[in-house]
Structure 1
Amino acid sequence: MKHFIFLSLCLITVFSSCEQNNLQQKETGKISWPEITPEMKPWTRWWWHGSAVTEKGLTASLEAYKEAGLGGVEITPIYGVKGEEKQFIDFLSPDWTEKLVYTLKESERLGLGVDLANASGWPFGGPWVGAETASRYFTSQVFNVAGGETFSTNIAYMQQPVLRMQDGKKVQINDVKEPLSTYGDLQEYAFDQVRLEKPLPLILVSAHKSGQDGFTEKIDLTNQVEDGQLTWVVPEGEWVICALFEGLHGKQVERAGPGGEGNVIDHFSRSALDGYLDKFDTAFKNHDLNYLRYYFNDSYEVDDAHGEANWTPDFFTAFQQLNDYDLRNYIPALLGRDTEEMNGRVIYDYRWTISQLLLENYTKPWQKWASAQGKGIRNQAHGSPANVLDLYAASDVPEIEGREIVNLKSAASAAHVTGKKLISSESATWLNEHFESNWGDVKNAVDNMFLSGVNHIFYHGTAYSPQEAMWPGWLFYAAVHFTPTNSLWDDFKTLNQYVARSQSFLQAGRPANDILVYFNVADHWSERGNYMLKHFHSNTLFDDLSLKVCGDYLSENGYSWDAISDQQLQDVTYEVNQLLTNGNSYKTILIPEASLMPAETFEKLINLANEGATLLFVKDLPKAAPGMGGKAEGTQKIAHLKNELSFKQEGNRCMAAYGKGLIVVAEELPELVTYSGVQPESFYNDGLQSIRRLKDDGNYYYFIKNTSDTLFKGWIALQVDYTSAALYNPMTGAEGYAFTKSDERKTVIYVSIRPEESIVVETFKDIYTGELYPFYEILDNAVALSDWKIDFIKGGPILPESVSTEKLQSWVNYGSDYEHFSGTAEYMTIIPSLSESTDAWLLRLDNVHESAAIYLNDKHIGTLLNAPYELEIPVEALHGNDTLKIAVSNLMANRIAYMDKQGMTWRKFYNINFAARRAENRGEDGIFSARNWNPKASGLSGEVTLIPLKRTIK
Structure 2
Amino acid sequence: MRQAKNLYLLIFTIFVFTSCEKTTTPEWPDQTNETKPWTRWWWHGSAVDKANLTANLEELANAGFGGVEITPIYDVKGDEDKSISFQSAEWMEMFEHTLKESKRLGLGVDLANASGWPFGGPWIDAEQACKNVQYKKYHLKSGEQLKEKIEFIQPSLVRAVNKRVDISEVKFPISGNTNLQELALDQVRFEKPLPLQTLMAFSAQGETIDFTNFVNANGILDWTAPEGNWDLYAVFQGWHGKMVERAGTGGEGNVIDHFSEEATKIFLSDFDKNVKDIDLTGLRAFFNDSYEVDDASGDANWTPLFFEEFEKRRGYDLKTKLPALFGDMDEETNQRVLCDFRETISDLLLEKFTIVWADWAESYNTIIRNQAHGSPAAILDLYEASHIPETEGTDPMRIKMATSAGHTSGKPLIACEAATWLNEHFLSTLADVKQNADNYLRNGVNHIVYHGTPYSPLGEKWPGWMFYAAVHFAPTNTWWNDLKVVNEYITNCQSFMQNATPDNDILLYFPIYDAWTERDRNVLPHFGGHSEELTAEISNKLLTQGYSFDYISDKQIRKLSYANGKIQAAGASYKTIVIPDCSTIPLETLKHLFNLAENGAIIIFENEIPSKNPGLNKFEIRQAEAQKLIDDLKFTPEENYQSAASGSGKILVGKNVPNLLNAAGIYSEELTQQGLWYNRVERKDGTCYFISNWSEKAVNQWVTLQKSGKEAVLFNAMDKTFGKARTQKNSDGQTQVYLQLKPGETIILQWYSTKVKAEAYPLWEQSALKTELNGGWEVTFEKGGPTIPAPYKTDELKSWTKQSDELQKFSGTASYKTSFEIAENNDNDYLLDLGEVHESAEVWLNGKKTGTLIGPVFQIVLQKEALQEQNILELKVTNLMANRIIDMDKNKVNYKKFYNINFAAHERENRGADGNFTAAHWEPLPSGLLGPVTISKLTQK
TM range (shorter): over 0.9
Q: Distance in 2 between matches of 1:809 and 1:938?
A: 8
**Amino acid aligned to 1:206:** M
Pick the aligned partner of 1:200 from 185, 194, 202.
Answer: 194
**Amino acid aligned to 1:646:** K
| 718-727 vs 61-70, greater mean Cα deviation | 718-727
Check if 1:390 corresponds to 2:381.
Answer: yes
Deviation at 1:685, TM superposition (A): 1.2
Contact conserved, 2:797 with 2:931, CA < 8 A, in 1? Answer: yes
Deviations 1:81-115 (A, max 9, x none): 01111111111111110111100110000001100
Give the TM-score normalised by structure 2.
Answer: 0.96
Contact conserved, 2:117 with 2:289, CA < 8 A, in 1? Answer: yes
Matches within 5 A, 1:710-859: 710-744=697-731, 745-786=733-774, 787-834=776-823, 837-859=826-848
Deviations 1:204-243 (A, max 9, x none): 22122235xxxx2211223333312335433333332211
Matched with 2:677 is: 689
Matched with 1:4 is: none
Q: Distance in 2 between matches of 1:138 and 1:175?
A: 26
Q: Distance in 2 between matches of 1:575 and 1:29?
A: 31
**Amino acid aligned to 1:857:** N
Matches within 5 A, 1:348-367: 348-367=339-358
Pick the aligned partner of 1:416 from 394, 397, 407.
Answer: 407
Pick the aligned partner of 1:672 from 652, 660, 665.
Answer: 660
Deviations 1:327-352 (A, max 9, x none): 00000111111111011101111111
Matched with 2:174 is: 180
Pick the aligned partner of 1:404 from 395, 400, 403.
Answer: 395
Contact conserved, 1:152 with 1:231, CA < 8 A, in 2? Answer: no
| 778-787 vs 753-762, greater mean Cα deviation | 778-787
Matched with 1:38 is: 33
Matched with 1:245 is: 236
Tell me, what secondary structure is at the counterpart of 1:432? coil
**Amino acid aligned to 1:807:** E
Contact conserved, 1:206 with 1:221, CA < 8 A, in 2? Answer: yes
| 423-432 vs 667-676, greater mean Cα deviation | 667-676
Check if 1:142 corresponds to 2:129.
Answer: no
Q: Distance in 1 between matches of 2:165 and 2:908?
A: 25
Matched with 1:105 is: 100
Deviations 1:422-477 (A, max 9, x none): 10000010110000001100110111100110000000000000000011000000
Q: Distance in 2 between matches of 1:627 and 1:147?
A: 33
Deviation at 1:896, TM superposition (A): 0.7
The structure-2 alpha-carbon separation of the partners of 1:513 and 1:154, relative to structure 1 and needing over 3 Å to count, comes to same
Contact conserved, 2:174 with 2:254, CA < 8 A, in 1? Answer: no
Contact conserved, 1:25 with 1:769, CA < 8 A, in 2? Answer: no
Q: Distance in 1 between matches of 2:35 and 2:579?
A: 35
Matched with 2:211 is: 221
**Amino acid aligned to 1:658:** S
Deviations 1:870-917 (A, max 9, x none): 111111111122211111111111111100111111100011111000
Matched with 1:865 is: 854
Contact conserved, 1:26 with 1:768, CA < 8 A, in 2? Answer: no
Contact conserved, 2:159 with 2:165, CA < 8 A, in 1? Answer: no
Tell me, what secondary structure is at the counterpart of 1:230? coil
Deviation at 1:649, TM superposition (A): 1.7
Check if 1:475 corresponds to 2:459.
Answer: no
**Amino acid aligned to 1:791:** T
Give the TM-score normalised by structure 1.
Answer: 0.95
Deviations 1:799-838 (A, max 9, x none): 1111210110011101211000111111111122346955
The structure-2 alpha-carbon separation of the partners of 1:630 and 1:441, relative to structure 1 and needing over 3 Å to count, comes to farther
Tell me, what secondary structure is at the counterpart of 1:629? coil
Contact conserved, 1:722 with 1:747, CA < 8 A, in 2? Answer: no
Tell me, what secondary structure is at the counterpart of 1:37? coil
Q: Distance in 2 between matches of 1:613 and 1:140?
A: 49
Tell me, what secondary structure is at the counterpart of 2:761? coil
Q: Distance in 2 between matches of 1:395 and 1:510?
A: 18
Pick the aligned partner of 1:159 from 130, 154, 158.
Answer: 154
Contact conserved, 2:123 with 2:175, CA < 8 A, in 1? Answer: no
Contact conserved, 2:826 with 2:864, CA < 8 A, in 1? Answer: no
**Amino acid aligned to 2:721:** A
Deviations 1:738-785 (A, max 9, x none): 112222323321110111211100012333353011121110331211
Q: Distance in 1 between matches of 2:826 and 2:736?
A: 31
Q: Distance in 2 between matches of 1:651 and 1:808?
A: 63
Matched with 2:4 is: none
Matched with 2:10 is: none
Matched with 2:58 is: 63
Matched with 1:928 is: 917
Q: Distance in 1 between matches of 2:598 and 2:204?
A: 46
Matches within 5 A, 1:555-594: 555-594=543-582
The structure-2 alpha-carbon separation of the partners of 1:683 and 1:537, relative to structure 1 and needing over 3 Å to count, comes to closer
Matched with 2:645 is: 657
Check if 1:945 corresponds to 2:934.
Answer: yes
Deviations 1:288-335 (A, max 9, x none): 102100000000011111111100000000011111110000001111
Matches within 5 A, 1:402-551: 402-540=393-531, 543-545=532-534, 547-551=535-539
| 352-361 vs 642-651, greater mean Cα deviation | 642-651
Matched with 1:3 is: none
Contact conserved, 1:25 with 1:767, CA < 8 A, in 2? Answer: no
| 467-476 vs 236-245, greater mean Cα deviation | 236-245
Deviation at 1:148, TM superposition (A): 4.6
| 291-300 vs 651-660, greater mean Cα deviation | 651-660
Contact conserved, 2:162 with 2:915, CA < 8 A, in 1? Answer: no
Q: Distance in 2 between matches of 1:703 and 1:149?
A: 74
Contact conserved, 1:403 with 1:539, CA < 8 A, in 2? Answer: no
Matched with 1:294 is: 285
Tell me, what secondary structure is at the counterpart of 1:41? coil
The structure-2 alpha-carbon separation of the partners of 1:707 and 1:833, relative to structure 1 and needing over 3 Å to count, comes to closer
**Amino acid aligned to 2:625:** K
Q: Distance in 2 between matches of 1:775 and 1:162?
A: 66
| 642-651 vs 327-336, greater mean Cα deviation | 642-651
Unpaired runs of 5+ in structure 1?
1-15
Q: Distance in 1 between matches of 2:391 and 2:826?
A: 51
Matched with 1:335 is: 326
Matched with 1:10 is: none
Deviation at 1:63, TM superposition (A): 0.7
Tell me, what secondary structure is at the counterpart of 2:283? coil
Deviation at 1:683, TM superposition (A): 2.3
Q: CA RMSD in A?
A: 1.7
Tell me, what secondary structure is at the counterpart of 1:538? coil
Q: Distance in 1 between matches of 2:175 and 2:670?
A: 61
**Amino acid aligned to 1:800:** P
Q: Distance in 2 between matches of 1:94 and 1:759?
A: 49
Matched with 1:375 is: 366
Contact conserved, 1:167 with 1:910, CA < 8 A, in 2? Answer: no
